[in-house]
Structure 1
Amino acid sequence: MQKTFVKLGAAMRAPLAPALAPVAALAAMTTPAEAHVKWFAPYIVGAAPRPISDTLTNSWFWLAIALVLFFFVATRLVERTPAGEIVLKGFDKVSNPLWLRLDDFVRCVIGAFFVAIFAVGGVYLTPDLQTPAEWVSWLQLLIAFGIFSRRTQIFSAAGIILLWVLALRDYDIFHLLDYLALGVAVAGYLVLDASKNPEWRKHRFEVLRWGVAIALMWSSLEKFAYPEWFYPLVVEKPFLTFGMPRDVFIPMAGVAEFTMGFGLLWTPLIRRLSAVALFIIFNAAVYPFGRIDLVGHALIMAIIVAIFADPTREMHFLPKLKLPLQAVPAGLAAALVIIAGSYWGLHLMIYGPEGRVTLDGEQMATHRPNAENPHTGMVTMVPADPDKVAAAKTAYEATMADMHGPMMDGMAYPDPDAAFVLGMIPHHQGAIDMANVVLQYGQDAETRALAQHIIADQELEIRQMNAWLTARNITPGAAASH
């Protein structure tokens, strides 16, 4: 076996170098921050997302898009040469033992997943979808048992759909759409795998691939629409950003997640290299985020392995349109327009232009406190650490001191309109600074969620006010000279 891999490595080394460049680059852009943020931090379901114009005017977003397009086009260039076929055949040799038993592998992982969430108890299908109904856990166990016979797989598929319907009944539909894509795909796989029709059955892995791709692309948009959801994680786990500024890392990570999901739907080499990069990223997230992340992402990780192992060269969806090099940017642009348009459009349709925000429990996703991520969940008030109390008090006082002088100076400007704007900018910045203090020291889920919302709103309004000043050639601090 060792000699086989040595020979394989020698045969693949030269052509693999350019082909694996996208894997290393895309993995570096996101690892290990691909944990689903809704599992680890509270969020307001009905809050209005940031305008899509914020993303379209973000230079870091476009830099990440340019990098991904470069790597995807480079991969397509390799794929069109004999070297590309050598790489794919090398992948085939590595994955062939798994490919021959891939259905057994996928069914085992699906079964193990449902046994795991049965053991956890009190959830539908993901860590933040909790339920007090005890019978749900027993249904999960029945689903796991039914997966191992083709005669009963269809009943397991029906059980999975039932769980998603129950979750949709109890939770907000908009923020379950990424989960829904994966659930329907797993149920679809079980139905197709049990089918005696070979034309239907050959699409079973393709259904899984589309489900994961849509789930990844949809959930990646949270990093653009709700970047404030990620702020508590960045405060508690600063290593996630690799030293990059928070507002640089989050949009670039969102681009990487979206484009790798898109890559799963493209040509064979891009598809398999995207699967490798995603597998590295999801595995890297397990250690910092613990077993909750492992259980929650088990199905996605297994399907990613299946995508890599699939040696099929045939493409069923728009195969001819994917072949030209210019199809890569065109296809990515189309995916962005369709998915992002659906995301912002559905939110607008469901919640209206201003969103819907309250601080009652129904507007918050619930989270189960656990030792690995003790800040999660709807926590109750507990006696505070005296050292943290003192540190928070000092931080709050510093925010007031920093705000007061510039705010008073701004309001001294002789023009009332400019005085309002010049005074409100430091006032808003003070609110942002206070919100960051509570994210660092606070522990109540409602105040933390409110702080996230305040940060998002105040940063947007500061940008609007600065644009107003720029249009009138007024600079902050100008009041002192009048």
Structure 2
Amino acid sequence: MPRSKNKRLSVVGALGLSGLFTLAAPSAAQAHVKWFCAYDVAGQPQGLEQVLCLDFEWLTGLALACLMFGCLAEGTPLGGALLNALDRVTARIRTDTELLVRATLGFFLVSLWELGGIILTPELKTDVAWIPWLQLAMAACLIWRRTMPITGLGLVFLFSFATAQYGLFHLADYPIFLGIAVYLIAQGLGFKPFDIRSLDLVRWTAAITLMWASIEKWAYPDWTAPLIAAKPQMTMGATPELFMQAAGVIEFTLAFALIWTPLVRRTSAIILAAIFVSAIFEFGKVDAIGHSGIIVVLLAIAADDVRVPVRARQALLAPAYYGAALAAFLFLYYVGHAALFGGLSELPVI
């Protein structure tokens, strides 16, 4: 095999393993690019024939190997010991999960009121004068448990208002707000919607949010070009194209892990939370405000001590479920974009 090919594959392996096993995934890859760079949601995404290349296959293979390893380890005494250790370390977070969510969301809403002209996230601008005051009132409702559902309903309203202004495709980036809304309503009223824990609903919406965002890294790698130009060291010697592919695979895998077995999802939540926190040091106040909600949700997931029996077949089924999720999100993203902006006749053909 040519030396250049060996070097390229070694870079792919290094990027994949460092992102999945450590906190080496560059913080800039987790900054929400729409908050800091120019973007065009209606623009033509990169073709699937460019996304689904050999490097993508190698990275996905590494991701699946890591996922299967985590599943297999979870059913061993080592896995049980790690879960017990996590239970002890996160006991205080688990006890005060609701309080932490309320406090963090209160900080988030007050910050939006202070900044003004924003609907939920920094790139969703508005000239409507009463929106900031609504967000301040929603923050005040978090002080009392009985009024938490009002804040939840307010989040649903703001999400709907932003969807009307910016379109459904744009707001597909943020289903986690709906998950948090359901959490606040369910906790405030003391019921389990569809007999499902409210924390599990938030966990699923967080996973969906991050998996969708990872597709965006493959579809529009050029959006991140200004960040890479300003911080070239974050690519770790890889080309910008390879780096964005790796960043997307890392994020998709960690997001998918949030819906998998207890140890796998708790480990993934810890890694993701650490990456988001590290991004704050790079990008400052805007990033701290914008990602505060998902960070506290990830901490709650990391502290969740609910356990289920883990069998070897779950590790064997991981590639099938992972592949199905990847195919589903690629399909929804590209078909949805073509239907809304380009016409179904412009669907990419491989």
Determine the C-alpha separation between the residues in 1 that align with 2:344 and 2:194. Answer: 45
In structure 2, the CA distance between the partners of 1:257 and 1:24, relative to structure 1 (3 Å rule), is closer
Q: Larger relative contact order (C-alpha < 8 A, sep ≥ 6)?
A: 2
Given that 1:189 and 1:205 are in contact with CA atoms closer than 8 Å, whether structure 2 keeps it comes out as: yes
How far did 1:63 drift? 1.8
Counterpart secondary structure, 1:129: strand
Q: Which residue of 1 aligns with 2:10?
A: none
- Displacement of 1:22 in angstroms is 7.9
Q: Which moved more, 1:199-208 or 1:117-126?
A: 199-208
Judge conservation of contact 1:98–1:309 (CA < 8 Å) in 2.
Answer: yes
* 1:348 alignment partner, one of 312, 333, 338: 338
> What is the deviation of 1:27?
3.1
Question: Residues 73 and 22 of structure 1: is their aligned pair in 2 closer, same or farther, counting only changes over 3 Å?
Answer: farther
Larger Rg: 1
State the distance in 2 between where 1:272 and 1:143 align: 30
CA contact (8 A) 2:119 2:162 kept: yes
Q: Could you say which residue in structure 2 is the equivalent of 1:238? A: 232
Deviation at 1:65, TM superposition (A): 1.0
Q: Quick one: distance in 2 between partners of 1:175 and 1:225?
A: 14
**Is 1:44 aligned with 2:40?**
yes
What pairs up with 1:141-152 in 2 under 5 angstroms? Answer: 141-152=136-147
1:184 is paired with a residue of what secondary structure?
A: helix
Q: What does the per-residue CA deviation read over 1:392-431, in whole Å, with 9 as the maximum and x for residues that have no partner?
A: xxxxxxxxxxxxxxxxxxxxxxxxxxxxxxxxxxxxxxxx
Q: What is the aligned counterpart of 2:323 among 322, 333, 339?
A: 333
Measured in 2, the distance between the counterparts of 1:353 and 1:170 equals: 21
Alignment of 1:437-476 (within 5 A): none
Q: TM-score scaled by structure 2?
A: 0.89
Q: 2:200 aligns with which of 195, 206, 210?
A: 206
For 2:282, give the aligned amino acid: P
2:308 aligned with 1:304, yes or no?
no
Shift of 1:123: 0.2
Superposition deviation, residue 323 in structure 1: 4.8
Aligned pair partner of 1:292 in 286, 289, 302: 286
**Aligned partners of 2:301, 2:225: CA distance in 1, in Å?**
32
Task: Flag the 1:26–1:55 CA change in 2: closer, same or farther, 3 A.
Answer: farther
Decide whether aligned partners of structure 1 residues 225 and 26 sit closer, same or farther in structure 2, where only a CA change above 3 A counts.
Answer: farther
TM superposition outliers: structure 1 runs of 4+ over 4 Å: 21-24, 198-202, 353-356
Letter in 2 for 1:335: A
What does residue 255 of structure 1 align with? 249
Counterpart contact for 2:138–2:151, Cα < 8 Å: yes
CA distance in 1, matches of 2:316, 2:20: 23
**Displacement after TM superposition at 1:297 (Å):** 0.5
Alpha carbons of structure 1 residues 338 and 24: separation in structure 2 relative to 1, 3 Å: closer
Is 1:87 the counterpart of 2:82 in the alignment?
yes
CA shift in 2, pair 1:193/1:301, >3 Å = same
> For residue 25 of structure 1, what is the amino acid of its counterpart?
F
C-alpha distance in 1 between matches for 2:58 and 2:152: 42
Q: How does 1:49-448 map to 2 (within 5 A)?
A: 49-56=45-52, 58-179=53-174, 181-197=175-191, 203-314=197-308, 323-353=313-343
- Counterpart CA distance in 2 for 1:261 and 1:193 is 24
1:179-198 Cα deviation digits (max 9, x unpaired): 1x111101010111123336
Alignment identity in percent? 35
How many aligned positions are there? 332
In 2 relative to 1, CA 226–345 (structure 1 residues): closer, same or farther, beyond 3 Å?
A: same
User: Match of 2:281, SS?
Assistant: helix
User: Aligned partner of 1:114: which letter?
Assistant: L
Q: Which amino acid in 2 is paired with 1:246?
A: P
The question of whether the paired residues in 1 share the 8 Å contact of 2:19 and 2:25 is answered with: no
Residues 233 and 199 of structure 1, relative CA distance in 2, 3 Å threshold: closer
More deviation, 194-203/330-339: 194-203
> Alpha carbons of 1:241 and 1:224: their partners in 2 closer, same or farther (altered >3 Å)?
same
Answering whether residue 24 of structure 2 is matched by residue 28 of structure 1, we say yes
Return the offset for 1:354: 8.6
Q: In structure 1, what residue type is equivalent to 2:307?
A: R
What displacement does 1:346 show? 0.6
Cα separation, 2, equivalents of 1:24 and 1:44: 30
Measured after TM superposition, the shift of residue 122 of structure 1 is 0.8
Which stretch shifts more, 156-165 or 200-209? 200-209
Question: What TM-score, normalized by structure 1, do the two folds share?
Answer: 0.65
Q: How far has the Cα of 1:24 moved from its partner?
A: 6.0
The answer (yes or no) to whether the contact 1:178–1:215 under 8 Å persists in 2 is yes
Change (3 A) 1:301 1:231: same
Where do 5+ consecutive residues of structure 1 fail to align?
1-20, 357-459, 465-482
Checking the alignment, whether the CA contact within 8 Å between 2:23 and 2:275 is kept in structure 1 is: yes
Q: Distance in 2 between matches of 1:331 and 1:354?
A: 27
Q: Which amino acid aligns with 1:236?
A: A
Letter in 2 for 1:352: G
The answer as to whether partners of 1:48 and 1:354 remain within 8 angstroms in 2 is: no
RMSD: 2.4
Aligned equivalents of 1:59, 1:199: Cα separation in 2 = 43
Deviations 1:136-162 (A, max 9, x none): 000001111112323211211111111
Aligned partners of 1:165 and 1:171: how far apart in 2?
10
**Gap regions ≥5 residues in structure 2:** 1-16
Aligned partner of 1:361 in structure 2 is none
